[in-house]
Amino acid sequence: MRIAHISDLHMRHHLPGTASVAARLSRLMPDYFARALAQIRVLLPDLLVISGDLIDYPLDALDDPATQKQGRQDLESIANLLNEIPVPIAIIPGNHDHPELFDRVFGKFPDDQVVNGYRILTFNDHEDAKHVPVRTGQQLKRFRAALKDSKSLPQIHVQHYIVWPERNEEYPHTYGAGASMCEAIIATGNVRLVLSGHYHPGVPLFYDKGVWFSTIRSFSEAPHPFVIYEIENNRVTATTYLLAL
């Protein structure tokens, strides 16, 4: 099983301006993302994972019709590029995406699918009022049901936020219930790999009691990385690729 993983594009093209963090090269992302997809196609993955923050939506203009139109155009430009990818895609929004616009453009993508003998689950979570990531409601029910499913194929979980380890030094990047989520994941034996974005420095692939965890670095910031994971005999390896400029 070969998985390509890219995250946190923070793209702005039709949306005006750029990200508030200067290192996030929002206005270069339409070109850079297209180039990255061309590189990924050559590597022949079985699955493409995009774990949130596709665009850098101005969060103070969530209800503005003109900004919504621009944001939807940016999401549609990403969708058009993904239409050329000949493999299954697991994709979720991040905290810098407009949730309703994301659903309108990417709602067709499954949140539970089988690829090469693995069950791929995506979880669409959010932040609470203090910006702490939380999994609640239907997403929490899906998570618990998947862990209890004794007949499930080996699972790969994809979410925007970090399940584990804790990375909350300057901003809460890890789920408030991350430690208990990690314990539940490990206890079931159903999950092989847990993939996240959100934390731009990333956390390299590591192994903990039967489960592999990886938080990818942001593609929007130099050197614009993406990762290829190889799963074989319950062992996972990760190779980082950089955008060829």
Q: Summarize pLDDT for 26-72 with one digit per residue, the tens.
A: 999 999 999 999 999 999 999 999 999 999 999 999 999 999 999 99
Query: What is the reported pLDDT for 196?
Result: 98
pLDDT, tens digit (0-9, with 9 covering 90-100), for 75-130:
999 999 999 999 999 999 999 999 999 999 999 999 999 999 999 999 999 999 99
Distance CA 52, CA 216 (A): 11
Confidence tier at 245 by pLDDT (50, 70, 90): confident
Q: Is the peptide bond before 201 cis (omega within 30 degrees of 0)?
A: no
Query: What is the reported pLDDT for 243?
Result: 98
Query: Helix (H) and strand (E) counts for the chain?
Result: 5, 13
DSSP states of 125-168: -EE-TTS-EE--HHHHHHHHHHHH-TTPPPEEEEESSB-SS---
Query: What is the reported pLDDT for 61?
Result: 93
Distance CA 71, CA 101 (A): 8
Is the predicted pLDDT of residue 234 greater than 90, yes or no?
no
177 alpha carbon, distance to own chain's centre: 19
pLDDT, tens digit (0-9, with 9 covering 90-100), for 171-229:
999 999 999 999 999 999 999 999 999 999 999 999 999 999 999 999 999 999 999 99
Q: What is the mean pLDDT of residues 8-24?
A: 97
Crossing angle for the helix pair 137-148 and 178-188, nearest 10 degrees?
A: 30
Lookup: tokens for 95? 């905290």
Q: Residues near 100 by Cβ (< 8 Å), separated by ≥ 6? A: none
For residues 120 and 91, the answer to whether their CB atoms sit within 8 Å is: no
Q: Distance from first CA to last CA of the chain, Å, rounded?
A: 28
Global pTM value: 0.97
For 80, the 3-state DSSP assignment is helix
Q: What is the mean pLDDT of residues 227-242?
A: 96
